[in-house]
Amino acid sequence: MITATKPFSPPLEMFQDKVSEIFKNKWFTNHGPMVTKLEQNLKKYFNVPYLVLVSNGTIALQIAIKALELKGEIITTPYSYVATTSTIIWENCIPRFADIDPITLNIDPLKIKEQITSNTKAILATNVYGYPCDFDEIKAISNEYGIPVIYDNAHGFSTKFKNSDILNFGDISTISFHATKLFHSVEGGAIVCQDEKTYKKLLLLRNFGHTSPNTFDGVGINGKMNELCAAMGLVNLNFAEEICKKRKSQWLFYKDKLSDYPINSMNYNLTEIDFNYAYFPIIFESETKLLNVIKHLEKNNISVRRYFNPSLNTLNYIPIKDECPISEDISKRVLCLPLYHDLTVEEQNLILTKIKEIC
C-alpha cells in the first residue's frame, strides 16, 4: 500500500533516550525542559524574535485571534484546511472569503480589498502548500486600513522569502507540527509574533491566564505542548535539512515526469523564495477525470488526498455565503500526490504510470 502521506520516523533509540530523560525528571507537562529547549531551538532555526509552543496548529490560530482581541469579520481564504475557517467561527468571529489567485492558489490581495468594510477586523491568510502569500501587497492593505494580519503557515516549515523565514511575516504567524507535516512533533504547533507585548499575552493565553500558581490575568486555555511531543520535535529537528532535501528531490521528480501529461502542476515563481516543496498538488481538466484517477489508484493500492476540498466558502455552517468561483472550481479538480520521506522512486514511477493509464 502506498499511502497518501506518512510521518517521518526518526531512529527509535534517539527518541527513547529523550523519553528516558523525561521519566528520570518525572516532568511530563507544564513547560518542562524539553518544551523549553524545543522553543529555543525553533526560535533559532526560524530566526524569529518570539515563539510560543502550543499543543497543535488549530489552537495556535485560536490563541492568535484571542491575542489580537478580534470581534467581527475576518477576511480569509476559501482554499485551506477546514481548521482555518472553523477557528474563526469557534472564536465567535465571522469569516468573509476572498477568492484565490489561480496560479499560486493563495488568497488574492485584490479580492481582499473588495471585501473590506467597516466590520473588517483582520485578515487571516494561508501560505498554501508552503508557498508564501503576496506579503508586500497584503502588508500594504494592512497598513492602509489599519487591520492586523495572521498567517496560517501550517505547511510552511523552512520556506523563506527574501532570505527570511516566512514565519516572520504578519502580526502573528502560526505553524503546525502535526505528524503529517514535513517536520512534526506528533501533535503540536507554534505561534510567532514580532513584539514583546503580544508575546506576553500569548504566554498567558496558552496557560489559563496564570501569572503565578495562584493568580490569573484574563481568560486563558490549556494550549500547552507536553514533554513527549517536544521530545519528538527535538529529535526530528536534527533531520530537518535531510527531510527538506529529500522532499525537494521527490517534488522535482514528479514535476519532470509530469511535464508531458495533460495535467496542471504548480508553476511557482521561485524568485526570492526558498521553497520547502512540502506538497505536490495536480489539477485535472475536470472533476470527473479526477474521480476516475482516484478510483484507479485505489484499485492499485495507492492512496491520494483531495487536498483541499471542498472550497471552505461552501461549508454548511458559514453564516455569510461569499462566491469564490476560482476556489470552488479548483477545489473540485485538485489532488495531492503521495509525498513523504521514505517514498521511493519506484513507487513514484508506479503512481505516475497508473495516472497515465487514465489520462
Tell me the per-residue pLDDT of 60-90, one tens digit each, with 9 for 90 and over.
999 999 999 999 999 999 999 999 999 999 9
pLDDT score for 262: 86
Average pLDDT over residues 270-279: 97
Average pLDDT over residues 293-317: 97
To the nearest 10°, the Cα dihedral for 104, 47, 121, 129? 20
Q: What is the pTM of this model?
A: 0.97
Topology of domain 240-358, CATH = Aspartate Aminotransferase, domain 1 (3.90.1150)
pLDDT score for 351: 98
Equal CATH topology for 12-237 and 240-358: no
pLDDT score for 201: 97
Place of cell 515563481: 269
Average pLDDT over residues 249-259: 96
pLDDT at 139 > cutoff 90: yes
Residue 78 near residue 313 (C-beta atoms within 8 A): yes
Residue 201 near residue 223 (C-beta atoms within 8 A): no
pLDDT at 199 > cutoff 90: yes
Average pLDDT over residues 244-259: 96
Contacts of 155 (CB under 8 A, 6+ apart): 126, 127, 128, 129, 130, 176, 181, 182, 276, 278, 279
**pLDDT tier at 22 (50, 70, 90 boundaries)?**
very high
Strand partners, 177: none
pLDDT score for 330: 98
3-state SS assignment for residue 255:
helix
User: What is d(CA 98, CA 86) in angstroms, rounded to the nearest whole number?
Assistant: 16
Q: How far is CA 339 from the centre of its chain?
A: 16
Q: From residue 332, give the alpha-carbon distance in Å to each of 125, 324, 354.
A: 21, 13, 20
pLDDT score for 21: 97
DSSP character at residue 130: G
| CATH number listed for the domain at residues 12-237 | 3.40.640.10
User: What is d(CA 193, CA 257) in angstroms, rounded to the nearest whole number?
Assistant: 40
Average pLDDT over residues 77-104: 98
pLDDT tens string 31-67 = 999 999 999 999 999 999 999 999 999 999 999 999 9
Residue ranges of domains in the chain: 12-237, 240-358
pLDDT at 260 > cutoff 90: no
The pLDDT mean for the chain works out to 97
pLDDT tens string 144-159 = 999 999 999 999 999 9
pLDDT at 347 > cutoff 90: yes
Strand partners, 215: 212
